[in-house]
Structure 1
Amino acid sequence: MHIDLHKIPQASPDDISGLDALIQAGTLNPSHIIAVLGKTEGNGCVNDFTRGFATQTLKNYLGQVLGPGAAKEIVYIMSGGTEGVLSPHLNVFTRQPSAPDAMPHWGLVMGVSRTRPFAPDEIGALAMVKTVAEAVHVALAEAGLQPEQASFVQIKCPLVQATQAEGLKRSSYQSMADSRGAAALGVALALGELGPDPMTPDMIGRNFEIYSKTASASAGVELQNCEIFVLGNAAHATGNLVIGQAVMHHALDLDAIHQAVANTGQPATQIVNIFAKAEADPRGTILGCRHTMLDDSDISHTRMSRAVVGAV
């Protein structure tokens, strides 16, 4: 398996000029694209329509290049919010069979999958946890990875809109957190990160003793199912990429970033991209000091935490 990653800056959510230039130059074969992970400049909240706008633009463009059927097979994951020094861009992953004379080595492999659509009452519930776990197993098998070899699992999951929330007693914004929590626990279940104790509905997004060290979950209004990709290192890779992973224990944990880089075995000058997921510490403190991100009524704490972690 040969995986490549093309990082392409964007001037706007509908800017595909960089992608088109790579395709026209023959640098990127569009038939090899299996996933696009993008960072858009919206607010990252319920009403962030830049994600859907970017996704629609990509689908329309690749539908013309590849045909609508082939374009729909690609996993599109748009994450909103480029606060602070973050910059809007696309990460285009390509996968192709190894050349006959290629020498396999320890390196990056990748698998993708998607779940069925979820009903509003399933989003953030145990049904979602179990369904995501099954889909993660599919992506692992496609990549040729064992669960313990997975370094990073990215999921785009749905949320419950106000018109769908009747009788569910939660806001659309709360449903984003519930959806991310259920998706992350689905990853934890698939990868064996959870213990043998049974999970109950009230644990999702509320019991911080159970979590995944590998999952990155992003919720949005632009889809009703989950789209997933799994990254890990394995001996059947023939590309030039490798992945390293570490857990940030707080939003200023620079040591964890150095550790993730060191885990690749490559110099920092060779970094293509760093994918990080964070939010404000729910305890209201960081390194023993009080923070006010959770109390700000004007700006979502997720926006503040993205700016902090992006700067780190």
Structure 2
Amino acid sequence: MPTVRQAFVHRFAASAPDDLDAMEAAVRRGELDPAGIVAVLGKTEGNGCVNDFTRGFASLALKQGIAAWSGRSVESVGRDVAIVMSGGTEGGLSPHWLVFEVREAPAGTPAAALPALAVGVAMTRPFAPEEIGRLPQIRATADAVAAAMRQAGIDSAADVHYVQVKCPLLTKARIEAAAARGRDVATGDTYLSMGYSRGASALGVALALGEVREGELGDGAVCARPDLYSGRASTSAGIELMENQVMVLGNSRAWAGELAIGHGVMQDPIDVDAVAQALEQVGLRAGLRLADADRARVAAVLAKAEPTCNGLIRGRRHVMLDDSDIHASRHARALVGGVLAGVFGDTQLFVSGGAEHQGPDGGGPVAVIARR
């Protein structure tokens, strides 16, 4: 009989980028097996920009903590566990960790009667600076998504509901290193490089899931063809890596457990109908807000945030793109976080800014993991 796996999602508060106290307490109580951790998603309280070192600080703390608890080396944890830190907790968003753990179900456990949450993780090779934001990153990401689907035992792209990617960005040093080798880069602007990397990674997800055709893609499509996007990709750029780390979340009858995932695609930052669609897919009914009993069933909420390029939301002017003090993506995270907090009655929400090729202009995917 094939081994049946079960996915668990643990959500822990964080009082600082290196605060692992709640996670460590769960390990000591036997509620979390560190050897089974396959991915950690974190919202850190930095600025979410190029110099947001809370992401690297948190990543290092997590690698060291998981290594100490599981008896693995820090290097092996970095190689095998997707550590995805998303900077920026503007508005009321709460810094927190989402820990994804996979266990073998007890012998004789049947697969779920309904498809259950399935998790797969894969890494690309490290990219050269000149590959970031371009076709090599798109293709390598598509290959990694396919590998993560195979690892998760997900046969159909239709069963994939969310793909989280952590991707690199360009620094001045990386740009100069490419120039020294006679190579140019996608952009000389380090901040814009985050968008190029996120966009290429999202197009790689779209390619793997059949949402775009390879013939439509090329270096010139990245951040230039908003009509090309994935409704299930969430990508986040950071200074702390050079490869893409990919986590695929879907549902599979080969897995056991009560958890399942559903998703919708927000057409704009206040599209609660898309949230309702995601809730319905996991057996929850959306109203003005979730009932307390239903709130207790929610294990994680994941979403993308992006201001509309035309400066309007349903015909009303917004000034996110006109504010010279705070970048528009920071405004967008706060806006989407507030909308979702009103629905879920919770501020521990994984809302990531920068949605290039991740949903339509001003919108983005939203996913809910919950117990059926």
Asked whether 1:35 is paired with 2:53, we answer no
**Alpha-carbon shift at residue 294 of structure 1 (Å):** 1.3
**Alpha-carbon shift at residue 98 of structure 1 (Å):** 2.1
**Alpha-carbon shift at residue 161 of structure 1 (Å):** 0.3
What residue in structure 2 maps to residue 83 of structure 1? 90
Secondary structure at the residue paired with 1:273? strand
What residue in structure 2 maps to residue 292 of structure 1? 319
What residue in structure 2 maps to residue 263 of structure 1? 281
Of 120, 139, 144, 1:135 maps to 144
Instruction: Provide the identity percentage.
Output: 43
Q: Which amino acid aligns with 1:87?
A: S
Asked whether 1:232 is paired with 2:250, we answer yes
Q: Deviations over 1:140-198 (max 9, x none)?
A: 00001122211000000000002222453420001000000000000000000013633
Q: Which moved more, 1:302-311 or 1:58-67?
A: 58-67
Residues of 2 paired with 1:279 and 1:212: CA distance? Answer: 14
Secondary structure at the residue paired with 2:118? strand
Contact 2:134–2:218 (8 Å) recurs in 1: no
TM-score (norm 1): 0.97
Residues of 2 paired with 1:102 and 1:75: CA distance? Answer: 28
Structure 1's consecutive aligned runs of 4 or more residues displaced over 3 angstroms after TM superposition are 166-169, 195-198
What residue in structure 2 maps to residue 46 of structure 1? 50
Q: Which amino acid aligns with 1:44?
A: G
Residues of 2 paired with 1:275 and 1:308: CA distance? Answer: 14
Residues of 2 paired with 1:173 and 1:58: CA distance? Answer: 26
Q: Which moved more, 1:215-224 or 1:285-294?
A: 285-294
Asked whether 1:113 is paired with 2:113, we answer no
What residue in structure 1 maps to residue 161 of structure 2? 151
Q: CA RMSD in A?
A: 1.3
What residue in structure 1 maps to residue 345 of structure 2? none
**Alpha-carbon shift at residue 289 of structure 1 (Å):** 1.6
Residues of 2 paired with 1:88 and 1:51: CA distance? Answer: 12
Q: Which moved more, 1:289-298 or 1:205-214?
A: 289-298
Residues of 2 paired with 1:164 and 1:20: CA distance? Answer: 36
Contact 2:9–2:300 (8 Å) recurs in 1: no
Asked whether 1:71 is paired with 2:54, we answer no
Contact 1:108–1:242 (8 Å) recurs in 2: yes
Of 162, 166, 170, 2:188 maps to 170
Of 321, 330, 333, 1:303 maps to 330
Q: Deviations over 1:240-272 (max 9, x none)?
A: 200010000000111111111111124543111
What residue in structure 1 maps to residue 179 of structure 2? none
**Alpha-carbon shift at residue 70 of structure 1 (Å):** 4.3
Query: What are the residue-to-residue correspondences of 1:178-257 with 2, within 5 Å?
Result: 178-195=196-213, 197-257=215-275
Asked whether 1:3 is paired with 2:7, we answer yes
Q: Which amino acid aligns with 1:65?
A: W
Q: Which amino acid aligns with 2:82?
A: V
Secondary structure at the residue paired with 2:94? coil
Of 103, 106, 129, 1:99 maps to 106
Can you give the 5+ residue segments of structure 1 that lack an aligned partner in the other structure?
none
Residues of 1 paired with 2:214 and 2:25: CA distance? Answer: 50
Contact 1:165–1:171 (8 Å) recurs in 2: no
Can you give the 5+ residue segments of structure 2 that lack an aligned partner in the other structure?
177-183, 286-293, 340-372
How many residue pairs were aligned?
312
Q: Which moved more, 1:158-167 or 1:208-217?
A: 158-167
TM-score (norm 2): 0.82
Residues of 2 paired with 1:199 and 1:71: CA distance? Answer: 33
Q: Deviations over 1:32-71 (max 9, x none)?
A: 1110001000011111000000000111112222221542
Residues of 1 paired with 2:284 and 2:274: CA distance? Answer: 16
Q: Which moved more, 1:158-167 or 1:193-202?
A: 193-202
Q: Which amino acid aligns with 2:126?
A: P
Q: Deviations over 1:220-248 (max 9, x none)?
A: 10111111100001111212200010000
Residues of 2 paired with 1:93 and 1:223: CA distance? Answer: 20
Q: Which moved more, 1:193-202 or 1:242-251?
A: 193-202
Residues of 1 paired with 2:194 and 2:221: CA distance? Answer: 16
Q: Which amino acid aligns with 2:220?
A: D
